[in-house]
Amino acid sequence: MSEATKPGIVIAIEIDDPLLANRLASLLGGIEGLLLAAPGEAADFAIVSREERSVAEPHGFDFTPRELDVLTLLAEGASNKTIAKRLGISVHTAKFHVGSLLNKLDATGRTDAVAHAARRGVIHL
Amino acid sequence: MTDPTPDILAAFSSATAGLVAKASPAIVSVHSHRARASGFVWKPGLVVTADEALADEGEIEIKLADGTARPASIVGRDHTTDIALLRFDATQIPPARLSSGAPALGSLAIVVAAARGTPSAALGVVSLAGGRWRSLRGGDIDARLELDLRLHHSQQGGLTLDASGEAIGMAVLGPRRVLVIPTATIERVAGSLETHGRIARGYLGVGLQAVKLDDGLGAMVMSVDKSGPSAAAGISQGDVIVGWNDEKLSGVRQLLRSLGPDSIGQVVELSLRRGGEPMRLTVTIGERPET
């Protein structure tokens, strides 16, 4: 495949602040080879906000509120697709959160973290 | 006396190459929307691949070892054990031979995969060999097996061989590690996917919040699915579950464990507190609906 026919990299902006999202979209929209994902379209990458403040966990974990949402759904056995649907985010973003959760859990060596985290929220069984 | 080292290395090298060559006819590449993975023929016309590396929608194409491509359809997928089962129309390919033995820690492991239609291989050792474990999403996996080799994304779903060339499982990517889904888990899960198209999970139909009680733990019913088994059993919002079949509730995990694939249809006696008063209700565990 020649360079000229390569498809662009599709990037999704998943930030709650509409002003910031718009500014990013207008900045990134002008870059050749970069395509902004339409709502609902699958993207190669997603830009997510990191402003979410971490919640201090009594068990020594350091999760963002979003990660706690994801943990609760994981405890229910949800797939990435289900997590995405329930939280209104893309599958890519759901995978990103699951990955960062796994890394954090791995670092602490706490395999029972799902149950611990699920204690904080309502779990649907 | 001559130095035997070159002979040993050459023999070792041709032995591993021979094992890969023997296994590779059963190895396929799996192409789905924006995703490339490997898989292997499990039974005639059926391919096992890594669920995580399979796109959520769109067409699926299987590329065979001989270079031909075939369309494939999903028979079933289980994200809790990372196993997906695909069907395609080529039934003449001999399935991979799966071993039931447990590999020893430190023994050799060869991953045979097919990256984008091209056969590929990786060599390492079994770097961790443990007992049964439960995945983050609650899947029962028969043995904890990790490999010390590097696995490319497109090699997920590749077959892991032991030094005798028998398959010990499917190679997948975990967080910062390469995991093997053992053959026992594949046989069980793929078998269930073939028969039922899914791995069923038990369902109570309640939203629960863990609460501390004076004499232990409870699970407070925060919401009730009107068409679920708990509603049918007469459970109400605000009830606190304190016991399960005469056993004191030990936590959320106990409930999760009690709702495995075999739990559906089981009749469970729940001990509750309603307005502080003890009571008992009988619930028949249902099947969790797809959400």
Quote the pLDDT of residue A55: 44
Chain B within 8 Å of A82 (Cβ-Cβ)? yes
Arithmetic mean of pLDDT over chain A: 75
Instruction: Specify whether B163 is located in the same domain as B184.
Output: yes
Specify the 3-state DSSP secondary structure of B254: helix
Instruction: Specify whether B142 is located in the same domain as B239.
Output: no
Q: How far apart (Å, rounded) are the C-alpha atoms in residues B68 and B70? A: 7
Specify the 3-state DSSP secondary structure of B71: strand
Do residue A115 and residue B253 have CB atoms under 8 angstroms apart?
Answer: yes
Number of helices and strands in chain B (H, E): 4, 22
Quote the pLDDT of residue B1: 58
Quote the pLDDT of residue A58: 46
Q: What ipTM was reported for this prediction?
A: 0.73
Chain A within 8 Å of B160 (Cβ-Cβ)? no
Q: Can you give the CATH number for the domain in which B231 is found?
A: 2.30.42.10
Instruction: Specify whether B146 is located in the same domain as B271.
Output: no
Final residue of a structural domain among B184, B199, B214 = B199
Quote the pLDDT of residue B139: 87
- Give the global pTM: 0.78
Q: How far apart (Å, rounded) are the C-alpha atoms in residues B281 and B12? A: 64
Quote the pLDDT of residue A112: 61
How many other CB atoms are found less than 10 A from the CB of residue B68?
A: 10
Instruction: Specify whether B227 is located in the same domain as B195.
Output: no
Quote the pLDDT of residue A101: 82
Name the DSSP class of B41: E
Quote the pLDDT of residue A24: 80
Using the predicted structure, report yes or no on whether residue A72 has a pLDDT greater than 90: no
Q: Give, in degrees to the nearest 5, the angle at Cα B54 between B155 and B30.
A: 55
Do residue A122 and residue B138 have CB atoms under 8 angstroms apart?
Answer: no
- Among A16-20, A55-59, A82-86, B126-130, which stretch is predicted with the lowest mean pLDDT? A55-59
Specify the 3-state DSSP secondary structure of B154: helix
Chain A within 8 Å of B35 (Cβ-Cβ)? no
pLDDT in tens, chain B (291 residues): 567 777 999 999 999 999 999 999 999 999 998 889 999 999 999 999 999 999 888 899 999 988 889 999 999 999 999 999 999 998 788 999 899 888 999 999 999 999 878 899 999 999 999 999 988 888 889 999 999 999 999 999 999 999 999 999 999 998 778 999 999 999 999 999 999 998 888 999 999 988 888 888 899 999 999 999 999 999 999 999 999 998 888 877 788 888 888 899 999 999 999 988 999 999 999 998 876
Instruction: Specify whether B158 is located in the same domain as B231.
Output: no
Instruction: Specify whether B191 is located in the same domain as B247.
Output: no
Q: How far apart (Å, rounded) are the C-alpha atoms in residues B110 and A27? A: 47
* Range(s) of the domain holding residue B248: 202-287
Whose CA is closest to B273, among B218, B232, B227, B207? B218
Quick: pLDDT tens for A95-110: 888 888 887 777 665 5
Q: Residues 6 or more apart from B226 whose CB is under 8 A from it?
A: none
Q: How far apart (Å, rounded) are the C-alpha atoms in residues B109 and B103? A: 9
Confidence of residue A71 (pLDDT cuts 50, 70, 90): confident
Confidence of residue A3 (pLDDT cuts 50, 70, 90): very low
Q: Could you tell me which residue, B291 or A88, shows the higher pLDDT? A: A88
Instruction: Specify whether B131 is located in the same domain as B111.
Output: yes
Chain A within 8 Å of B223 (Cβ-Cβ)? yes
Region A105-122: mean pLDDT is 66
Quote the pLDDT of residue A114: 66
Closest CA in chain A for residue B255: A125
Q: Which of residues 59-88 of B touch A (CB under 8 A)?
A: 79-80
Quote the pLDDT of residue A50: 60
Number of domains in chain B: 2
Give the residues across from B178 on adjacent strands.
Answer: B147, B173
Quick: pLDDT tens for A26-54: 888 778 888 888 766 777 777 776 654 44
Final residue of a structural domain among B199, B223, B258 = B199
Chain A within 8 Å of B174 (Cβ-Cβ)? yes
Tokens of A35: 């395509």
Instruction: Specify whether B51 is located in the same domain as B194.
Output: yes
Whose CA is closest to A40, among A94, A90, A97? A90
Using the predicted structure, report yes or no on whether residue A124 has a pLDDT greater than 80: yes
Do residue A82 and residue B291 have CB atoms under 8 angstroms apart?
Answer: yes
Which residues on B lie below 8 Å from A105 (Cβ)? 136, 175
Instruction: Specify whether B172 is located in the same domain as B264.
Output: no
Quote the pLDDT of residue A41: 73
Quote the pLDDT of residue B2: 66
Q: Does domain A52-118 have CATH number 1.10.10.10?
A: yes
The shortest C-alpha distance from A19 to chain B (Å) reads: 31
Using the predicted structure, report yes or no on whether residue A12 has a pLDDT greater than 50: yes
How many other CB atoms are found less than 10 A from the CB of residue B233?
A: 18
Instruction: Specify whether B193 is located in the same domain as B255.
Output: no
Residue in B34, B206, B208 nearest the CB of A42? B34
Q: Could you tell me which residue, A67 or B287, shows the higher pLDDT? A: B287
Specify the 3-state DSSP secondary structure of B89: coil
User: Phi, psi at residue B102, to the nearest 5°?
Assistant: -100, 125
Instruction: Specify whether B186 is located in the same domain as B211.
Output: no
Name the DSSP class of A44: S
Quote the pLDDT of residue A52: 47
Final residue of a structural domain among B154, B176, B199 = B199
Between the two ends of chain B, the Cα-to-Cα distance in Å is: 71
Which residues on B lie below 8 Å from A111 (Cβ)? 133
Specify the 3-state DSSP secondary structure of B222: strand
Q: Is residue B284 within 8 Å of B267, Cβ to Cβ?
A: yes
Confidence of residue A10 (pLDDT cuts 50, 70, 90): confident
Domain spans of chain A? 3-47, 52-118
Residue in B137, B203, B252 nearest the CB of A119? B252
Quote the pLDDT of residue A119: 67
Residue in A82, A103, A118 nearest the CB of B175? A103
Q: Is residue B24 within 8 Å of B119, Cβ to Cβ?
A: yes
On the 0-12 / 13-18 / 19+ scale of CB atoms within 10 A, B280 is exposed
What DSSP line would sit under B90-114, residue for residue? ---SPPPPBP-SPPPTT-EEEEEEE
Chain B within 8 Å of A59 (Cβ-Cβ)? no
Instruction: Specify whether B120 is located in the same domain as B209.
Output: no
Q: Can you give the CATH number for the domain in which B33 is found?
A: 2.40.10.120
Quote the pLDDT of residue B235: 95
